[in-house]
Amino acid sequence: MVTTSEAVERLLAIMARLRDPETGCPWDRAQTFESLVPHTIEEAYEVADAVERGDDEDLCDELGDLLLQVVFYARIAEEQGRFNFARVVTGLCDKLVRRHPHVFAGVKFASEAERKRAWEAVKRQERQARGKREEDGLLADVPAALPALAQAEKIQNRAARHGFDWPEAEPVFAKVEEELAELRQAWRSGDRAHIREEVGDLLFVAVNLARHLGVHPETALRDGNRKFSRRFRYMERRLAESGRTMDDTPLAELDALWDEAKRRGQA
């Protein structure tokens, strides 16, 4: 039985060989931090997809691919004398221990709210240690490269932890209706810049509503995408059976097929 440490050492040795200037793989040797970023994002989404499908085999495989990205970055950094994989892991371990004093240091919190305040205090100390200034703002370290839905959720969570949030979901529903009315008004005006602004406001508050309802917006939208795709493929198959395509079918018939897909359980 291979131990975890043996498996990790083998992985690090393989990556070192792949990056070897003389005997390594040309593609692997050519990679940089920047070139790896799209692959890292893709692998993270493939992990999410495997989780959502409940496919353990795929999940195990995709987690390996995601781990490869971490090892890849660490190897490039080590070659450049910046840091190595051991430092990545050590830093993570230290952070986990530091942020969980109730687990590792016997600290007792009177409430969940107190625990969250302590968590935020530790994170502030970490930001200060990295040279982040409080005057840069509480949102300063929200990654700009996050997908827009994830970034909106992170911004809202950060604001909520500091008291700027609706107390419940009901007023968020009202805000959605308000933003929808403003978008309709902008649409009637024909002002493209204003329309774009109001679409952004509507999407932002939709993320906030999802957050208040305990729904992860990215996951919900991915579910919605899959549902639409299943129903759309059903329509295509039904049309193909009669030798037709979407393009030569009136909208009323397409709507009827959509309703049929819903009745047939293509949800």
For the record, the structure tokens of 152 come out as 């909106």
Phi, psi dihedrals of residue 219, rounded to the nearest 5°:
-65, -40
Contact 180, 173 (CB under 8 A): no
Instruction: Give the ranges where 80-189 is alpha helix by DSSP (H).
Output: 85-99, 101-104, 112-129, 148-161, 170-189
Tens-place pLDDT, residues 182-212: 999 999 999 999 999 999 999 999 999 999 9
Report the C-alpha gap between 209 and 173 in whole angstroms: 7
H helices then E strands: how many in the chain?
12, 0
Instruction: Identify which has the larger pLDDT, 198 or 137.
Output: 198
Average pLDDT over residues 240-250: 92
Contact 206, 152 (CB under 8 A): no
Compute how many other C-beta atoms are within 10 angstroms of the C-beta atom of residue 4.
7
For the record, the structure tokens of 125 come out as 């100390």
DSSP letter at 1? Answer: -
Average pLDDT over residues 107-127: 87
Report the C-alpha gap between 91 and 97 in whole angstroms: 10
Confidence of residue 23 (pLDDT cuts 50, 70, 90): very high
The sign of the CA dihedral 159, 163, 167, 173 is negative
Ordered by start, the domain boundaries in the chain are 4-99, 219-263
DSSP letter at 135? Answer: G
Angle at 123 between CA 120 and CA 126, to 5 degrees: 155
CATH class of the domain defined by 4-99: mainly alpha
Length of the chain: 267
With a pLDDT cut of 70, the percent of the chain lying above it is 97
Report the C-alpha gap between 36 and 72 in whole angstroms: 8
DSSP letter at 24? Answer: S
Confidence of residue 267 (pLDDT cuts 50, 70, 90): low
Tens-place pLDDT, residues 149-166: 989 999 999 899 888 999
